[in-house]
C-alpha cells in the first residue's frame, strides 16, 4: 500500500511540474512598461504640455480637472495600463510631474503617420508625426539609461533597460492621415491612393521600434471616421446612414484592410515579434450604431459642444468661449450626463465609451490573432 502511495505522489509531482512548464510557456505576460504612440485617441498630455492645454470641461468625470486628455475622463490607453496594474502613462513631452518608470506616451493630438506640409496653426495637425515620435522614443531610450546611472530620484522615475524589450508597445494612429487629404479637398479616390504610402511609413516605424528591441506590439486599427461630428459637420452633403457618412467609413475600412496586410508582412520580417492587430473600428461602429442597446443615447451627438445638428460647432469647440456671430458669445459646455454619451466633443469619445470599447477588446474577441491583452507577448 505504502509503495503505491509513493508512486501516486511521484506521478502527481510530475504532473504538477508539467503543468507549471506549460503555463509558463504560454502564461500571462508580465509587461513592466508600456510605450504608446499615436494621436489624440491616446494622448495623455503631450499636446497640452507642448502647445495649448485641453481646456475644461475636459477631465470633469474622472480627473475632475483637465488632464491633458481630450475626453471627460480616461482613454482606452488608461484602461489598458490600469488592467496591468500600471500607472497612467506620462506624456514624454510633459516636464511637470512625470514618472516614466513604467513607460512613456509619445502620442500627440493631431498626429499623423506621414509628416504634413502644413503647420499646426494652419491645419491643426501636430508636427510630432510618427517619425518624430520614433526619434523621441529612441532618444528617450538612450538618455534615460545615462541619466538613470545618476541614481537617486532618477532611478525611481526612469525605466530599467530591460523594460524596453519586455514592454508592450501600443499604437493608435492613422485617422488624421485620412482627414488630412479631405482637408486639402482631395476626393475619396485621391485619399485612397496615398494610403499605401502612409502604411509603408507606418511599417518602417514599427521596424524601427523592433530594431530598438521592442517585441510585443498591440496595434489598433482606425475608427469609423464618418461617425464623428467634426467630419459630418464639415461635409454635410455626404449622405448619412445611422448618422454616419459612408464614404469616410469606406476610407477607414480601406485603410484598415491595408493595415492588416502590412501587419501580416511585418510578422514575416520581424520573426521575434508578437503583433496583435485590434479591430477597434468594429467595436466603435457597433457601439455607435446600437447606442441604446448598450445603455447610451444619441449615437453621434456630441456631449460637449454648441449648437448645430450634432452639438458641434467648429468655431466653438468643447470648452471654448467664442463670439459666434458678431454679438452672441457662447461657451461650448458639457451635457448633463456624459456617462450616457458616446461622443464627447465631436471628435473624441467619452470615458464611458472608452471603457466599453476597452472591455470589448481586452479578451481578444476583436484581435488578430485572437490574442487577449494579457497574452499579447506571445506570437
Ligand X SMILES: *[C@@H]1O[C@H](CO)[C@@H](O)[C@H](O)[C@H]1NC(C)=O
Annotated catalytic residues are 40, 345, 348
Look at residues 94, 11, 3, 81 and name the one whose alpha carbon lies nearest to residue 45: 94
Tell me whether residue 168 or residue 270 sits nearer to ligand X (CB atom).
Answer: 168
Q: Does 200 bind ligand X (CB under 6 A)?
A: no
Shortest CB 5 distance to ligand X, Å: 41
Rounded to whole angstroms, how far apart are CA atoms 374 and 294? 25
Task: Write the DSSP string, 237-305.
Answer: TS-EETTEEHHHHHHHHHHHHHHHHHHHHHHHH-TT-EEEEE-HHHHHHHHHHTTGGGT---TT--SSB
* Interface with ligand X (CB under 6 A), residue from 29, 62, 98, 157: 157
By rule CB under 6 A, what string of x and - marks binding of each residue 274-313 to ligand X? ---------------------------------x------
Q: Does 184 bind ligand X (CB under 6 A)?
A: yes
Q: Does 102 bind ligand X (CB under 6 A)?
A: yes
Tell me whether residue 2 or residue 328 sits nearer to ligand X (CB atom).
Answer: 328
Shortest CB 307 distance to ligand X, Å: 6
* Interface with ligand X (CB under 6 A), residue from 117, 149, 165, 265: 117
Rounded to whole angstroms, how far apart are CA atoms 256 and 252? 6
Tell me whether residue 67 or residue 270 sits nearer to ligand X (CB atom).
Answer: 67
Tell me whether residue 156 or residue 337 sits nearer to ligand X (CB atom).
Answer: 156
State the sign of the Cα–Cα–Cα–Cα dihedral 43, 363, 289, 196: positive
Q: What is the DSSP letter of 333?
A: B
Residues binding ligand X: number (CB under 6 A): 20
Three cell numbers, residue 207: 521596424
* Interface with ligand X (CB under 6 A), residue from 99, 138, 188, 289: 99
Question: What's 340-355 look like in SS3?
Answer: HCCECCCCCECHHHHH
* Interface with ligand X (CB under 6 A), residue from 32, 53, 55, 87: 87
Cα 342 to Cα 304, 347, 371, distances in angstroms: 11, 11, 26
Rounded to whole angstroms, how far apart are CA atoms 66 and 64? 7
Q: Does 204 bind ligand X (CB under 6 A)?
A: no
**Of residues 315-374, which lie at the interface with ligand X (CB under 6 A)?**
324-325, 328, 359-360, 363, 365
Q: What is the DSSP letter of 115?
A: P
Shortest CB 147 distance to ligand X, Å: 14
* Interface with ligand X (CB under 6 A), residue from 105, 111, 116, 126: 116
Rounded to whole angstroms, how far apart are CA atoms 331 and 226? 26
Q: Provide the binding-site residues for ligand X, judged by CB under 6 A.
A: 87, 99, 101-102, 114, 116-117, 153, 156-157, 184-185, 307, 324-325, 328, 359-360, 363, 365
Amino acid at each position: 500500500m505504502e509503495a503505491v502511495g509513493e508512486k501516486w505522489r511521484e506521478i502527481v509531482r510530475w504532473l504538477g511540474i508539467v503543468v507549471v512548464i506549460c503555463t509558463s510557456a504560454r502564461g500571462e505576460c508580465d509587461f513592466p512598461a508600456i510605450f504608446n504612440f499615436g494621436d489624440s485617441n491616446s494622448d495623455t498630455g503631450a499636446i497640452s504640455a507642448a502647445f495649448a492645454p485641453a481646456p475644461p470641461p475636459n477631465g470633469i468625470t474622472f480627473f475632475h480637472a483637465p488632464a491633458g486628455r481630450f475626453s471627460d475622463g480616461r482613454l482606452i490607453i488608461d484602461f489598458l495600463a490600469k488592467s496591468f496594474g500600471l500607472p497612467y502613462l506620462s506624456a514624454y513631452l510633459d516636464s511637470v510631474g512625470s514618472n516614466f518608470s513604467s513607460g512613456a506616451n509619445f502620442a500627440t493630438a493631431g498626429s499623423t503617420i506621414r509628416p504634413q506640409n502644413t503647420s499646426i496653426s494652419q491645419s491643426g495637425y501636430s508636427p510630432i508625426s510618427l517619425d518624430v515620435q520614433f526619434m523621441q522614443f529612441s532618444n528617450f531610450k538612450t538618455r534615460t539609461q545615462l541619466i538613470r546611472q545618476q541614481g537617486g530620484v532618477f532611478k525611481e522615475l526612469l525605466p530599467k533597460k530591460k523594460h524596453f524589450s519586455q514592454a508592450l508597445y501600443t499604437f493608435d494612429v492613422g485617422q488624421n492621415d485620412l482627414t488630412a487629404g479631405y482637408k486639402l479637398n482631395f476626393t475619396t479616390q485621391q485619399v485612397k491612393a496615398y494610403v499605401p504610402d502612409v502604411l509603408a511609413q507606418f511599417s518602417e516605424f514599427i521596424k524601427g521600434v523592433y530594431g530598438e528591441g521592442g517585441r510585443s506590439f498591440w496595434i489598433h486599427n482606425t475608427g469609423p471616421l464618418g461617425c464623428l461630428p467634426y467630419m459630418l459637420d464639415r461635409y454635410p452633403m455626404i449622405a448619412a446612414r445611422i448618422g454616419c457618412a459612408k464614404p469616410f467609413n469606406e476610407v477607414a475600412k480601406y485603410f484598415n484592410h491595408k493595415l492588416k496586410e502590412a501587419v501580416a508582412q511585418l510578422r514575416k520580417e520581424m520573426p521575434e515579434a508578437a503583433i496583435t492587430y485590434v479591430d477597434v473600428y468594429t467595436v466603435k461602429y457597433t457601439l455607435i450604431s446600437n447606442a441604446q442597446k448598450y445603455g447610451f443615447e444619441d449615437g453621434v451627438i456630441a456631449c460637449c459642444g454648441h449648437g448645430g445638428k450634432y452639438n458641434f460647432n467648429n468655431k466653438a469647440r468643447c470648452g471654448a468661449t467664442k463670439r459666434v456671430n458678431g454679438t452672441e458669445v457662447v461657451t461650448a459646455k458639457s451635457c448633463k450626463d456624459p456617462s450616457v454619451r458616446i461622443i464627447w466633443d465631436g471628435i473624441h469619445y467619452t470615458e464611458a465609451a472608452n471603457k466599453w470599447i476597452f472591455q470589448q477588446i481586452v479578451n481578444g474577441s476583436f484581435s488578430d490573432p485572437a490574442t487577449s491583452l494579457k497574452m499579447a507577448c506571445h506570437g
